[in-house]
Structure 1
Amino acid sequence: MPLKRSRPQTESKFKDAVLDLVAESGCGALGVNAVAQKAGADKVLIYRYFGDLDGLLQTVADQQSWLPSIDELVESIQFSAQDVADYLSMLFNTIVEHIRSEASTLQIIRWRKASSNPLTHHFTQEWQALWGELPSRITEELDEAAQTAWKHACALMSLLAEAELNDEQVDLNCIHVFANDLPPLKVDA
């Protein structure tokens, strides 16, 4: 008597296999055969359930949140309105540590420039949204010039964070240098 398959269970195995392969070896390890082998399931089921490998990767990407939400990020950091450099450092460290804590996310940021697939595309959209929306969220009560200065600072922070996560040499003291020119944020008492 043949074994009865459970589609939801098999789909879950495929999705877990994708994340495991990415965490272990990066996006270059992804292929139908590798995913099927890691999942312990027939590769034909990838085509049946997801259409193709990109369909599986898109499903994984759609169900995965790679970064903290802006609310989580902002609410996790306590700061003094005058302590702009420390606030920027805390933002930087919170985002970097969040990504480093999840091996698949760390690999995806490292592979996103070299491998174009639904995982890297989705991560890139999430990354750009975070850094694009963050300045507006933290500067809601500031004037336009201050908001623009913070927008530029967040763009620089994005570049620094990506460099740091790709093991490039980064002088984090530059955060304090450009923080000197930023207007203080307003803090709710």
Structure 2
Amino acid sequence: MHEGSKVGDTPATESEGGVGTREPVRRRVVDAAADLLAREGRDAVTTRAVAAAAGVQAPTIYRLFGDKDGLLEAVAEHGYATFLAAKQPLREELDPVADLCAGWDLSVEFGLANPALYVLMYGEPKRGTTSAAFQAGMQILMGRIRRLAAGGWLRVDEKLAAALIHATARGAVLTWLSLPEDERDPALLIAMRESMVAAVTHQQPAVQVAGPAEAARTLRALLPEQTALSGAEQLLLGEWLDRLSSDG
């Protein structure tokens, strides 16, 4: 026994999350939980099983994560970080619609390759969505959507486009996973992707040359048909659009 120690004292060790070791232990516990989830499913992710797999005592999990729900939240955040690492930046060599489809395909492929993790991430409302990785992934998606908008391809507003893209990818994966394996037809995924493209984009860009002046001219031409604005608002918007149009 070291000098000054008392009977019943337990030195702070790596397995107990001592000073300077908290983050490595946290990562080891999350990795162990994610591995159990992938191999044996959600029911296998108990605090006792995770503690044994990570080589820590069960109270360590409660100190690091608060409770089992906190641990599952951390596993979901780990999933978003893993998905983010696989995401590709905007691919300028592809047209905006092809780039959108490539991103959608990548999301679906991740779900099919990591079914239990995907269900944890996307099958429960807002699980892990406050994480930095989730927010970074959303920024990549919004970049794709803004590129569509700038090129005249976007059919709906950007917020609705993001919701539609998420809903179709999530629905495609969760529906696929719910089916018996012998009933899983790849045509389902193709049809879901095409329905997303049809809902979010025009078949042809609304403006042939991307830029504020061209977009303003298109909107100016359609302005008389709109009914959402008052007469005064329509006049003011028309003046602004005329000004923007003249810049090109």
Residue 14 (structure 1) aligned to one of 25, 29, 33: 29
Query: Which structure exhibits the higher relative contact order, with contacts defined as CA atoms closer than 8 Å and separated by 6 or more residues?
Result: 1
Residue 122 (structure 1) aligned to one of 110, 121, 128: 128
**Aligned pair in 2 of structure 1 residues 25, 160: CA closer, same or farther (>3 Å)?**
farther
Which position in structure 1 is the counterpart of 2:242?
Answer: none
Amino acid at match of 2:58: K
Q: Give the CA deviation at 1:148.
A: 1.6
SS in 2 for 1:75: coil
**Aligned pair in 2 of structure 1 residues 18, 95: CA closer, same or farther (>3 Å)?**
same
SS in 2 for 1:68: helix
- Same amino acid, percent of matched pairs: 22
Q: Distance in 1 between matches of 2:106 and 2:160?
A: 19
Which position in structure 1 is the counterpart of 2:55?
Answer: 40
Matched, 1:52 2:67: yes
Residue 190 (structure 2) aligned to one of 172, 178, 185: 172
1:106-149 deviation line (CA, Å, top 9, x unaligned): 42322456657xxx611598399469735643235256x93526
Q: Distance in 2 between matches of 1:171 and 1:55?
A: 33
TM-score where L is the length of structure 2: 0.51
The two structures, once aligned, show a CA RMSD in angstroms of 4.2
1:159-181 deviation line (CA, Å, top 9, x unaligned): 33223323255251464462773
**Aligned pair in 2 of structure 1 residues 21, 88: CA closer, same or farther (>3 Å)?**
same
Q: Distance in 2 between matches of 1:43 and 1:129?
A: 35
Kindly indicate whether the alpha-carbon contact (under 8 Å) linking 1:32 and 1:43 is maintained by their aligned counterparts in 2: yes
Which position in structure 2 is the counterpart of 1:68?
Answer: 84
Amino acid at match of 1:148: V
Matched, 1:93 2:108: no
**Aligned pair in 2 of structure 1 residues 133, 25: CA closer, same or farther (>3 Å)?**
farther
Q: Distance in 2 between matches of 1:50 and 1:171?
A: 37
SS in 1 for 2:154: helix
Structure 2 residues without counterparts, runs of 5 or longer: 2-9, 180-184, 211-248
Q: Give the CA deviation at 1:22.
A: 1.9
Q: Distance in 2 between matches of 1:160 and 1:47?
A: 36
TM-score where L is the length of structure 1: 0.63
Structure 1 residues without counterparts, runs of 5 or longer: none
